[in-house]
Each structure stands twice: as C-alpha cells, then as structure tokens.
Amino acid sequence: MIIVTGGAGFIGSNLVQGLNARGVDDIIVVDDLSDGIKFNNLVDARIADYLDKDDFLDMLMEGVEFADKVDAVFHLGACSDTTQWDGKFMLQNNFEYSKHLFHYCQQRKIPFIYASSAATYGANTTFKEEPANEAPLNVYGYSKLLFDQYVRRYQDDLQAQVVGLRYFNVYGPREQHKGKMASVAYHLNQQLQDNGVIKLFEGCDGYADGEQQRDFVYVGDVVAVNLFFLDNPNKSGIYNVGTGRSQSFNAVANAVLNWHKTGKLTYIPFPEHLKGHYQSFTQADISQLKARGYKQEFLTVEQGVNHYLDWLNSRIK
C-alpha cells in the first residue's frame, strides 16, 4: 500500500496516475476537499481509500496501524500559496504536519518522499542543495526550508529512506484548481482563450520585458523522479527537481501562441507588492540528482507546453 498526501492536488494526482499506469491501485489518498473542485483530479484515478488530512493526522498521533503494510509515503500535501503571509498557519500546515509524518515513517521504517521547494533559495542565483544558498523570500519558502533543516538533523541516523524533492516551476495537467497559484502556462492559455491576448510582466531586476528566467519543469517529469526514488529505497537526500536549464516567460508565451497559432503578446507593469519577493531567475543544479543515477531527460518548455495544451484544451468545451 502507498499513501499519497495531497493526492487530490496537482502533483499528487499526477503521481497517483503514474502509479496507476504501473498497475498500482492500492493507494490511500490524503487531502482536504473543503475546496470540492479538486475531486475532478481523482475521478479517473484508481485508489483504495480517501482520508481527510486532519483525520489522517489524528491517526498518526494515536499510532494507528494500517491493515496493509505501507510500502511508501509520498508527502505532497501543503499550503503552496507563496503569497500567504500567515506564518502560524503556514508552519502548522507545512512544518508541524510534516514532522509528525516523518517520525511516524521513521519509527516504522517506511520510505518517506516529500515535497520541498525551490522557494528555499529565494533570490540566490546558485541553486545547489547547500545551506549557503538558502534564503527564502516568503514564509512559504521558509516553511519548506525549516523542514529540510529538520530532516538534515537526522540524516546520519535514518531508519528508512527520506527524500526531499525541491520542485522548481512545475506545470501540466490537473492544476486548474490552484487558481492564482496555477502555472504560467495555464494562465497564459486562459488569457488567450478569453481575450486573444497574453499579458506578461514588464522587466524587473535588470531583465527585459518578459525575459525573467525560470526553470519550468513538466509535471510528468516530476512524477518520473518520484517513481525513481520509489524504485531505489536505498537512496536518501534532498534533491533539486528541475530541467537544469532556465527559459524565459517569453518562451512560455510563445509556446502557447504557437500551439494556438493565433493571438498576441503584451506587457503590463510589474506589481509593486511583488518587488523584493519575486524570483526573477531560477535554474536547478541537478548534478546531485544525476549523481544518484537519474538519467531520464527533461522536456523543454516547447515540448512540455505542447503536451500540456493538448491535454488541457481537449477538456475545454
């Protein structure tokens, strides 16, 4: 049996699909469906059970044992809103919850693969998994860094696999419920569908209009990395998950325009509230991931956006 927290969310539901594609359906999905629209991500999934995240935490605290052996826990549940500044709420959801699950898995020698974030690096331009490069710009990034630091305290005395995956800018199917936190590709496609015009921010931090650079990684590649570590339970650590190359927001916009073969691109003023809290450049250093034996190539923006829009627009009525 495999447990996926956040299993109705973006990356979690894609991971469930990836497990299903392997013939695995003995899966418990843990999530919070207060936002009921997320149920759509599970309609075509094969799972064994669903648990509310608070009920699941109560079970952990009470030391409840599952009837079937738990082969692995993928912990993807979190508040991922980078504009959320309620630190108490953020740390309760992203840090305290993760600690309880970490210790539950360690006590039972269950592999534990969890979602960290490239937000841990903040405005740094060196994206290597080392403390010297970590300086988050928001409380979301801090909550992820705090748990990474917590895990590092135990790294020399682990009882089972623990893997933290620092996701860069993930995009792809099953993110529509995220609203403003959905990917650039999703929003640009929506803009083009609604108005025939794509809008990007003007330049900032020395970058020309739309030339801010991010490491955009397709969710299918993210799932492949998760499954790689599931297949290699002897490998632990904290790893970047990105393509290893940065591409501009203009590149995403042009990929969307090329898919639709219509529309135009314009630029709007950079928001005041994001100044000083915005990553204008990210590029994953994936040397440690490769050193661990991961060999699969990552899709480019052009390839990934084509896959995504084929899926997304086939569902727009």
Could you tell me whether strands 162-167 and 112-117 are parallel, antiparallel, or unpaired per DSSP bridges? parallel
Question: Which one of the listed residues 97, 104, 140, 142 is annotated catalytic?
Answer: 140
Residue length of the chain: 317
Question: Which one of the listed residues 178, 199, 235, 278 is annotated catalytic?
Answer: 178
Angle at which helices 301-313 and 249-260 cross, to 10°: 50
DSSP letter string over 22-70? Answer: TT---EEEEE-TTSGGGGGGGTT---SEEEEHHHHHHHHHTTPPPSSPP
- Determine the distance from the C-alpha atom of residue 93 to the mean position of all C-alpha atoms in its chain, rounded to a whole number: 16
> Residue 315: which of 150, 152, 176 has the closest Cα?
176
Question: What SS3 state is found at 173?
Answer: coil
**Could you tell me where the beta strands, DSSP code E, fall in the chain?**
2-5, 27-31, 49-52, 72-75, 112-117, 162-167, 169-171, 197-201, 213-214, 216-218, 237-241, 247-248, 264-268
- Determine the distance from the C-alpha atom of residue 216 to the mean position of all C-alpha atoms in its chain, rounded to a whole number: 11
Active site residue 142: no
Phi-psi region of 286 (alpha: psi -120 to 50; beta: other; left: phi over 0): alpha
> Residue 313: which of 173, 118, 165, 119 has the closest Cα?
173
- C-alpha 238/C-alpha 307 separation (Å) is 28
Neighbour-count burial for 146-166, b at 16+ CB within 10 Å, e otherwise? bbbeebeeeeeeeebbbbbbb
Active site residue 239: no
- Active site residues per annotation: 140, 178
